[in-house]
Amino acid sequence: AQTVTQSQPEMSVQEAETVTLSCTYDTSESDYYLFWYKQPPSRQMILVIRQEAYKQQNATENRFSVNFQKAAKSFSLKISDSQLGDAAMYFCAYRSAFRISNYQLIWGAGTKLIIKP
């Protein structure tokens, strides 16, 4: 069975600086998707970034980028120029690309990101 581990329960960063959130996963599958979701105090789950396992290029969305190391099964999120609005819980999630898995998301426990003004 697949597992997702986020080893940092909480991280803090000074506003305008860069922070990296860690995520590791375990799977025997070759084709899958990895996600970072953000959950602000409003509770809404917001998709931050998505990485397809077959793509070697790391995904980027504005100030958010990932470091995807498939062999090491590592998927970290880098937030550049941190802003107060980035304060939230961040969840790493895994999803198989095979329909037989019924596309269930496997979640990490989350990392609370604190932005210091």
> Footprint of other proteins on this chain (CB under 8 A)?
4, 33, 35, 42-47, 50, 91, 93, 95, 97, 99, 102-105, 107-110
Reduced to 3 states, what is the DSSP secondary structure of residue 35?
strand
In whole angstroms, the minimum distance from the beta carbon of 28 to other proteins comes to 18
Q: Which residue, 7 or 18, has its beta carbon nearer to other proteins?
A: 7
3-state DSSP of 34-68: EEEEEECCCCCCEEEEEEECCCCCCCEECCEEEEE
In whole angstroms, the minimum distance from the beta carbon of 47 to other proteins comes to 6
Q: Which residue, 4 or 82, has its beta carbon nearer to other proteins?
A: 4
In whole angstroms, the minimum distance from the beta carbon of 76 to other proteins comes to 17
Residue 84 DSSP code? G
Q: What sign does the dihedral 67-59-44-31 (CA atoms) show?
A: negative
Q: Which residue, 15 or 103, has its beta carbon nearer to other proteins?
A: 103
In whole angstroms, the minimum distance from the beta carbon of 60 to other proteins comes to 16
Does residue 78 contact residue 48 with C-beta atoms inside 8 Å? no
